[in-house]
């Protein structure tokens, strides 16, 4: 009886790429609040395009004229005399760019066994991928032009204070109300339906909401606002987003440590000393964002689940794990000692509708 050899490369498909891809995506997703609620673009390889397109069909004008019955004995015209309209279609495109990072490995790191070493490496790479993409997406949000600042001369939305140097207060309920009102006036779409609370479990109802993103310093100010509901008291089976900590004023808030800060940006003399900053007269200015559904478009972390094999025309995850085992480099690695583990991602982001996102520039309390 002939002996048959079973080897790892041929007969037993290695699970490492699949498992490590899942690990990387999981670690990266935890670091991506700036992707919450963004409209994903579709990236397809070998499609001859270096850009991503989002298409928006504008709302039609409300109809206020009734359809009347044709007069008796009249000749019926084409379409029975009715009229139609042509919808307005807006295409928004943005060029894509490629990012990535890698770790060189020695043969002593055995990635064919999904062990604690490989898991730790993938957590590190996943966190790096998430933080990198989140930073890029933050810059997209920061290009928002609808702005509200508070100064000693009062709040101004359509005509905000001329410079962030005059920002003079932390975030307030009125700031959130003004922002929500701007989105409502422009028919922005909310992300979440109402959630209903129960006195039996100590939860509270949550109104239909937009999303908000702020710095972790500003989070503490928001928690102190009147009407704030912490995430642990959300009513019903409410799904939450990464980094979400609570809701107030029709906005569900997430926080991140990389939100935009202008260090010592405020030089307003009327500011009290109880704010974050470098001195009694220099205070950091923080940018927070409130936005509706489809206000921002992104591509950077695919919604597709990782698979071992991708067929032609499959949409692939935009974050890829690339593993080269020791010995795969030919004469560049004569003793089969060096390998590498890397992530690579395509990224693009764009403000799709500037009327559906507001930037608030405020101070943050020092506690």
The structure tokens listed for 290 are 């409130």
Nearest to 35 by CA among 302, 310, 315: 302
Condensed to tens digits (0 to 9), the pLDDT of residues 95-134 reads: 888 898 888 877 665 545 445 566 677 677 777 887 888 8
How do strand 210-215 and strand 251-256 relate by DSSP bridges?
A: parallel
For the chain, state the CA radius of gyration. Answer: 26
Question: Which pLDDT score, from 0 to 100, does residue 124 have?
Answer: 78
Interacting residues of 237 by C-beta distance below 8 A, sequence separation 6+: none
Question: Which pLDDT score, from 0 to 100, does residue 300 have?
Answer: 61
Whole-prediction pTM value?
A: 0.76
Distance CA 265, CA 60 (A): 43
Question: Which pLDDT score, from 0 to 100, does residue 14 have?
Answer: 43
Q: Is residue 101 within 8 Å of residue 125, measured between CB atoms?
A: yes
pLDDT in tens, the chain (367 residues): 354 433 334 433 444 454 555 555 555 555 568 888 888 776 655 556 677 878 777 777 888 888 777 777 666 666 666 778 888 888 888 888 889 888 887 766 554 544 556 667 767 777 788 788 888 999 999 998 888 886 554 444 444 556 778 888 889 999 999 999 999 999 898 987 666 555 556 666 677 889 999 999 999 999 999 999 998 888 666 677 878 899 999 999 999 888 999 988 887 766 666 888 877 778 899 999 999 998 998 886 544 333 333 333 444 456 777 777 777 777 777 777 777 788 888 888 899 999 999 999 999 988 7
Q: Is residue 223 within 8 Å of residue 245, measured between CB atoms?
A: yes
Q: What is the 3-state secondary structure (H, E, C) of the chain?
A: CCCCCCCCCCCCCCCHHHHHHHHHHHHHHCCCHHHCCCEECCCCCCCCCCEEEEEEECCCCCCCCCCCCCCCCCCCCHHHHCCCCCCCEEEEEEECEEEEEEEEEECCCCCCCCCHHHHHHHHHHHHHHHHHHHHHHHHHHCCCCCEEEEECCEEECCCCCCCHHHCCCECCHHHHHHHHHHHHHCCCECCECCECCCCCCCCECECCEEEEEEEHHHHHHHHCCCCCEEHHHECCCCCCCCCEEEEECCEEEEEECCCCEEEEEECCCCCCCCECCCCCCCEEEEEEEEECECCEEEECCCCCCCCCCCCCCCCCCCEEEEEECCCCCHHHHCCCCEEEEEEEEEEEEEECCHHHEEEEEEECECC
């Amino acid at each position: 009886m002939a002996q048959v050899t079973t080897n790892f490369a041929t007969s037993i498909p290695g699970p490492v790429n699949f498992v490590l891809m899942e690990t990387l995506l999981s670690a990266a997703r935890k670091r991506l609040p700036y992707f919450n609620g963004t409209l994903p673009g579709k990236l397809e390889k070998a499609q001859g395009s270096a850009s991503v397109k989002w298409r928006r069909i504008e709302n039609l004008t409300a109809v206020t004229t009734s359809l009347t019955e044709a007069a008796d004995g009249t000749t019926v015209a084409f379409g029975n005399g009715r009229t139609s309209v042509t919808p307005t279609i807006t295409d928004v495109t943005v060029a894509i760019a490629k990012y990535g990072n890698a770790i060189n490995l020695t043969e002593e790191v055995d990635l064919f066994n999904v062990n604690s070493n490989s898991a730790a490496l993938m957590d590190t790479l996943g966190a790096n991928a998430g933080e990198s993409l989140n930073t890029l997406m933050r810059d997209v949000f920061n290009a928002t032009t609808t702005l509200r600042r508070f100064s000693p001369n009062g709040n101004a939305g359509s005509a905000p204070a001329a410079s962030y140097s005059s920002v003079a207060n932390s975030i307030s309920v009125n700031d959130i109300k003004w922002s929500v009102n701007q989105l409502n006036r422009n028919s922005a779409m909310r992300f979440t339906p109402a959630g209903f609370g129960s006195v039996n479990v100590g939860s509270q109802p949550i109104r239909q909401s937009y999303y908000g993103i702020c710095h972790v310093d500003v989070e503490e100010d928001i928690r102190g606002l009147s009407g704030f509901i912490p995430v642990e008291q959300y009513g019903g089976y409410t799904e939450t987003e990464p980094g979400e900590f609570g809701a107030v004023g029709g906005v569900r808030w997430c926080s991140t440590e990389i939100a935009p800060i202008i260090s010592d940006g405020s030089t307003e003399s009327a500011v009290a000393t109880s704010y974050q900053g470098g001195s009694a007269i220099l205070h950091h200015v923080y940018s927070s964002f409130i936005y509706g559904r489809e206000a921002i478009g992104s591509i950077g972390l695919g919604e597709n689940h990782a698979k071992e094999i991708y067929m032609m025309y499959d949409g692939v995850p935009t974050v890829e794990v690339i593993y080269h085992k020791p010995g795969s480099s030919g004469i560049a690695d004569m003793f089969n000692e060096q390998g590498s583990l890397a992530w690579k991602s395509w990224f693009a982001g764009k403000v799709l509708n500037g009327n559906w996102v507001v930037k608030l520039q405020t101070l943050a309390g020092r506690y």
